[in-house]
Amino acid sequence: MSREQREPNDKLGAVLALAGISNAGLARRVNDLGAQRGLTLRYDKTSVARWVSKGMVPQGAAPHLIAAAIGHKLGRPVPLHEIGLADADPAPEVGLAFPRDVGAAVKSATELYRLDLVGRRTGGGIWQSLAGSFAVSAYATPASRWLITPADSSVARDAGVAEGSGTGRVGHSDVQKLREAAEDARRWDSKYGGGDWRSSMVPECLRVEAAPLLLGSYSDEVGRALFGASAELTRLAGWMAFDTGQQEAAQRYYIQALRLARAAADVPLGGYVLASMSLQATYRGFGDEGVDLAQAALERNRGLATARTMSFFHLVEARAHARSGGAQAAGTALRAAEGWLERARDGDNDPSWLGFYSYDRFAADAAECYRDLKAPREVRRFTEQALSQPTEEFVRSHGLRLVVSAVAELESGNLDAACAQGTRAVEVAGRISSARTTEYVKDLLNRLEAYGNEPRVVELRERARPLLMAPA
């Protein structure tokens, strides 16, 4: 169903012509984007003709899917007003701005925190309305502004004259509570996945705890610490959204986390956010942009970050190079990552958010690099090292490593070993809430299609059926 509009939508027609998309092509793209988000849409060329010639406005998520479909073809974000759909059901474009002014940055972040609550009250409706709106080009301005000026000159705030209402004077004890919440969330996320109910409390913490503090009064010193803790929590919210397949939400959280890290004057944390952006871009198939984001993290952190931190940034760079098919560049980045990791010492002042990173994590990501480069022997070598470590704390990572191992065995012609590892991966995936892990399992099953009704493959499919049928 569509609501009527009095005049033809000439703006939509003009942009469709510019993008070279036919009515049937747009309908197909919108339906496909909707299917990726669990929506059943049945638009056709007649539907699109009505939107253009009669000015009818599609309801629900459709306007945003239309913008996303056209934006993907044009290679840039397409706002609703450009296609004459700005009056569609509102889903404010909050979270995409990277303000130069600190006060505006506080407003941008706290608006995003409030928006997530609306989504949760309506069963995730606001993010469903944004379905398919991820655009890797939206990272260009935040990354460039952070590179040019990675720290604000002052962040002191007087709530008596500033816009908004906070909690009064903020102290270090308030900041410490946010840091403790971030540490708890990191542990739950690693063990149970981004979709676990405990992990989903992070956006609530941002709304209830962080937002009032950001809108309060604080000195420059306390403010820096507050922005840093808020940036950590915001990045975590983005990571959990990424893990559960909410790419559009993750993108907004990441952008705000980077802006908050700049206010904190925490360059390594800003690099960590950029590394998270890089991993998302790479996962979405934008390897070149992933390389740019990882290299931005590296460039500003030379001489600042610890050896372990630099190792991780090089590892993320390697992931992006490998996804783009750059074997030589990926190898160079992996060697740099391993070299920096060898320099790391227990007494280094590593940030708390890097506690997950050790040699087994390096080995796991190196294995994924070689999987993308179709080098199964190297995949097996690094996966064996990654799987040799205890798994109680990092359950999701263990499940991902098992799938990567299964793929390597399959590409080496070892069907029995591939199915055995796949079975173990399905068992782990069934214990956590992670759309990313499920996607890895689906990829393995797709690769096994070539073996038809081979009994071992049929058994694995049956074991995976409950996982694949579970609601997202």
**Per-residue pLDDT averaged across 180-201, rounded?**
74
Tell whether the model's pLDDT for residue 275 goes beyond 90: yes
Residue 140 tokens, joined:
């260009």
The pLDDT, as a whole number, for residue 470 is 65
The pLDDT, as a whole number, for residue 37 is 58
372-420 residue pLDDT tens: 999 999 999 999 888 887 666 778 888 899 999 999 899 889 999 999 9
Tell whether the model's pLDDT for residue 368 goes beyond 50: yes
**Model pTM score:** 0.79
The pLDDT, as a whole number, for residue 388 is 81
- Burial (CB < 10 A; 0-12, 13-18, 19+), residue 462, is exposed
Confidence of residue 429 (pLDDT cuts 50, 70, 90): confident
8 A C-beta contact, residue 403 and residue 441: yes
**Per-residue pLDDT averaged across 441-466, rounded?**
92
Confidence of residue 138 (pLDDT cuts 50, 70, 90): very high
Confidence of residue 318 (pLDDT cuts 50, 70, 90): very high
196-212 residue pLDDT tens: 545 568 888 998 999 99
Angle at 294 between CA 292 and CA 296, to 5 degrees: 70
Could you give the 3-state DSSP secondary structure of residue 159?
coil
Confidence of residue 248 (pLDDT cuts 50, 70, 90): confident
**Per-residue pLDDT averaged across 137-156, rounded?**
95
Distance between CA atoms of residues 359 and 256, nearest Å: 30
The pLDDT, as a whole number, for residue 469 is 76
Question: Which range among 50-59, 110-119, 147-156, 199-208 has the greatest average pLDDT?
Answer: 147-156
Q: What is the mean pLDDT of the chain?
A: 87
CATH 1.10.260-classified regions of the chain: 2-83
The pLDDT, as a whole number, for residue 245 is 85
8 A C-beta contact, residue 132 and residue 37: yes
Tell whether the model's pLDDT for residue 163 goes beyond 70: no
The pLDDT, as a whole number, for residue 435 is 84
Tell whether the model's pLDDT for residue 307 goes beyond 90: yes
Lowest mean pLDDT among 58-67, 317-326, 327-336: 58-67
Confidence of residue 120 (pLDDT cuts 50, 70, 90): very low
| Cα distances (Å, whole numbers) of residue 90 to 128, 136, 260 | 12, 22, 26
The pLDDT, as a whole number, for residue 264 is 98
**Per-residue pLDDT averaged across 433-453, rounded?**
90
Does the domain spanning 2-83 belong to CATH 3.40.50?
no
Strand-pairing partners, residue 2, are 58
Tell whether the model's pLDDT for residue 1 goes beyond 50: no
The pLDDT, as a whole number, for residue 71 is 83
The pLDDT, as a whole number, for residue 159 is 81
Residues of the chain with pLDDT > 70, as a percent, come to 87
The pLDDT, as a whole number, for residue 92 is 52
Show Cβ contacts of residue 453 under 8 Å, excluding neighbours closer than 6 positions: none
Q: Angle at which helices 435-447 and 395-411 pack, to 10 degrees?
A: 10
What type of residue is 422? G
Distance between CA atoms of residues 284 and 187, nearest Å: 25
Confidence of residue 124 (pLDDT cuts 50, 70, 90): very low
State the DSSP string of 4-42.
Answer: --SS--HHHHHHHHHHT--HHHHHHHHHHHHHHTT----
> Higher confidence at residue 52 or residue 132?
52
The pLDDT, as a whole number, for residue 75 is 79
Strand-pairing partners, residue 110, are none
16-74 residue pLDDT tens: 999 999 999 999 998 887 776 556 788 999 999 999 998 888 876 788 788 888 988 88
The pLDDT, as a whole number, for residue 252 is 94
The pLDDT, as a whole number, for residue 116 is 53
What type of residue is 78? V
The pLDDT, as a whole number, for residue 121 is 36
Strand-pairing partners, residue 157, are 218
The pLDDT, as a whole number, for residue 374 is 92
| Cα distances (Å, whole numbers) of residue 369 to 442, 443, 444 | 19, 16, 16
| Cα distances (Å, whole numbers) of residue 41 to 91, 133, 338 | 19, 16, 47
The pLDDT, as a whole number, for residue 167 is 64
Tell whether the model's pLDDT for residue 267 goes beyond 60: yes
Largest CA distance in the chain: 71
Lowest mean pLDDT among 243-252, 309-318, 392-401: 392-401
Q: Which residues of 137-172 are buried (b: 16+ CB within 10 A; e: fewer)?
A: ebbbebbebbeeebebeebebebeebeeebeeebee
State the DSSP string of 395-416.
Answer: HHHHHHHHHHHHHHHHHTT-HH
Length of the chain: 472
Distance between CA atoms of residues 322 and 337, nearest Å: 14
The pLDDT, as a whole number, for residue 114 is 84
Residue 471 tokens, joined:
């609601």
